[in-house]
């Protein structure tokens, strides 16, 4: 295996994955892969993929696995010289997690660690509604869609916690507090793991 730093930033919608990813990728010089951002860019560009994905996004459902897996693989392959990647909002199902492991192994890489942000549901809802006001994201403005996204997270995404725990890669991180406090906790996890490896 090579020594790239490949981090999965894990957590429910509104946990702060996007905000913390931006800070981490600047600090550790990593490449950001946010499947949500890619899908929104496709939608904005009016591509067929973007239009198809929009039907799922609007309802708070997951876009089919093969679509997002293909997108991620394309970005990883486009950046062979990256120091590593931050996966944000991916994987979201066990099938995506297994596909990511396989894809990275094929390229001589692996996941270094999975940092799971812990935030309670009341705070998540507050943050999403606040973000909805600022960003105009429709899926952040409607409480029924937000509730569905939590349901999908609990049913389809949270099993990945056990998946990565079994691999000994999961670290839980307190996701309540200021942006800088949480960033500091994440950096501590990354730096400690880098020292022991």
Question: Which residue from 67, 72, 64, 63 is spatially nearest to 33, judged by alpha carbons?
Answer: 72
Residue of the chain from 28, 52, 56, 167 that contacts ligand AMP (CB under 6 A): 56
Contacts with 152 (C-beta within 8 Å, 6 or more apart), sequence order:
60, 61, 62
Cα separation, 164 vs 170, in Å, equals 5
Considering only 4-12, 86-94, 113-121, 159-167, which stretch makes contact with ligand AMP by CB under 6 A?
86-94
Does residue 63 touch ligand AMP according to CB under 6 A? yes
Preceding amide of 91 cis, omega within 30? yes
Interface positions, 138-177, toward ligand AMP (CB under 6 A): 139, 149
H or E stretch at 9 = strand 7-10
131 classed as catalytic: yes
Does residue 9 touch ligand AMP according to CB under 6 A? no
Torsion angle of alpha carbons 98, 77, 6, 22, nearest 10°?
-120
Does residue 100 touch ligand AMP according to CB under 6 A? no
Closer of 5 and 62 to ligand AMP (Cβ): 62
**Backbone region of residue 164 per phi and psi (left: phi > 0; alpha: psi in -120 to 50; beta: other values):** alpha
Cα separation, 4 vs 10, in Å, equals 19
Residue of the chain from 10, 85, 90, 163 that contacts ligand AMP (CB under 6 A): 90
Closer of 28 and 56 to ligand AMP (Cβ): 56
Question: Which one of 4, 31, 40, 149 is the catalytic residue?
Answer: 149
137 classed as catalytic: yes
Question: Which one of 92, 147, 151, 169 is the catalytic residue?
Answer: 92
149 classed as catalytic: yes
17 classed as catalytic: yes
Phi, psi of 62 (to 5 degrees): -85, 140
Does residue 35 touch ligand AMP according to CB under 6 A? yes
* Catalytic positions, written as ranges: 17, 92, 131, 137, 149
**Which residues contact ligand AMP (rule: CB under 6 A)?**
13, 35-36, 39, 56-57, 60-63, 68, 89-90, 92, 96, 139, 149
């Amino acid at each position: 295996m090579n020594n790239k730093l490949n981090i999965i930033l894990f957590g429910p919608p509104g946990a702060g994955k996007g905000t913390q990813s931006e800070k981490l990728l600047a600090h550790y010089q990593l490449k950001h892969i946010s499947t949500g951002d890619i899908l929104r860019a496709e939608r904005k560009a009016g591509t067929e993929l973007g239009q198809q994905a929009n039907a799922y996004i609007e309802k708070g459902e997951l876009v089919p696995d093969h679509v997002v897996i293909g997108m991620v693989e394309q970005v990883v392959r486009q950046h062979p010289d990256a120091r590593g990647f931050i996966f944000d909002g991916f994987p979201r199902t066990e099938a995506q997690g297994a596909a990511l492991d396989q894809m990275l192994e094929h390229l001589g890489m692996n996941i270094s660690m999975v940092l799971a942000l812990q935030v309670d549901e009341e705070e998540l809802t507050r943050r999403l509604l606040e973000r909805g006001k600022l960003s105009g994201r429709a899926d952040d403005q409607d409480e029924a869609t937000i509730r569905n996204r939590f349901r999908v997270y609990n049913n389809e995404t949270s099993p990945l916690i056990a998946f990565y725990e079994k691999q000994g890669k999961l670290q839980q991180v307190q996701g309540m507090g200021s942006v800088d406090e949480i960033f500091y906790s994440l950096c501590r996890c990354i730096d400690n793991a880098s020292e022991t490896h």
